[in-house]
């Protein structure tokens, strides 16, 4: 399995927000943004794995600025970390006012995807080749997040075995 670079699989997607994307306040509904983030991140993971992928988790999602009807959402996603079958993708969402040209950083997220074989089981993905200090920094930060996710899962499993109240 040949290694791939971040640049080979990164993607930029754009979509104009319409009235049906709005919440009762007139802002773009957070769920619409989440779906676009997941779709964009999934394309990156699919391009890297070369096979079907599923979303395993959204590690972090921060809404930073509102997006409005008429804005063009620009989603930029790339790989941060690759494991044996899983991949962490970072996604940045920018909201551009097409009239004024003003661009706002609307949201950021980290998502984990798992590649699946024909039977729907996790399967190996190509390794990731890092190029430059920025990709190396992102990879190191992603490895720390992965360590925290795994520790949290172990802690939750131990709590489940001990019987959490209300469970």
pLDDT at 166: 58
Distance between CA atoms of 116 and 123, rounded to whole angstroms? 5
Distance between CA atoms of 143 and 123, rounded to whole angstroms? 20
Helix (H) or strand (E) holding 14: strand 11-16
φ and ψ of 143, to 5 deg: -65, -40
Contact between 90 and 108 (Cβ < 8 Å):
yes
What 8-state DSSP symbol labels residue 99? T
Strands (E), 24-82: 53-63, 72-82
pLDDT of 167 strictly over 60: no
What is the homologous superfamily of the domain 4-162 according to CATH? Hotdog Thioesterase (3.10.129.10)
Condensed to tens digits (0 to 9), the pLDDT of residues 99-153 reads 999 999 999 999 999 999 999 999 999 999 999 999 999 999 999 999 998 888 8
Distance between CA atoms of 47 and 108, rounded to whole angstroms? 21
- H helix count then E strand count, the chain: 3, 7
Q: What is the pTM of this model?
A: 0.91
Condensed to tens digits (0 to 9), the pLDDT of residues 6-54 reads 999 999 999 999 999 999 988 999 999 999 999 999 999 999 999 999 9
Q: 94: which 2 tokens?
A: 């920018």
Condensed to tens digits (0 to 9), the pLDDT of residues 54-103 reads 999 998 899 999 999 999 999 999 999 999 999 999 999 999 999 999 99
Distance between CA atoms of 33 and 133, rounded to whole angstroms? 30
φ and ψ of 125, to 5 deg: -120, 160
Q: Tell me the domain boundaries of the chain.
A: 4-162
């Amino acid at each position: 399995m040949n290694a791939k670079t971040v640049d080979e699989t990164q993607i930029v997607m754009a979509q104009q927000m319409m009235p049906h994307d709005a919440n009762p306040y007139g802002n773009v509904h957070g769920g619409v943004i989440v779906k676009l983030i997941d779709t964009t991140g999934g394309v990156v993971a699919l391009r890297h794995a070369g096979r079907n992928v599923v979303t395993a988790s959204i590690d972090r999602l921060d809404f930073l600025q509102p997006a409005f009807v008429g804005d063009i959402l620009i989603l930029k996603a790339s790989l941060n970390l690759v494991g044996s079958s899983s991949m962490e993708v970072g996604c940045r969402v920018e909201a551009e006012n097409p009239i004024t040209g003003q661009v706002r950083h609307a949201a950021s997220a980290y998502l984990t995807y798992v590649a699946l074989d024909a039977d729907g089981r996790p399967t190996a993905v190509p390794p990731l080749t890092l190029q430059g200090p920025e990709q190396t920094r992102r990879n190191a930060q992603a490895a720390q997040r992965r360590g925290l996710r795994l520790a949290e899962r172990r802690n939750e499993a131990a709590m489940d075995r001990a019987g959490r109240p209300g469970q």
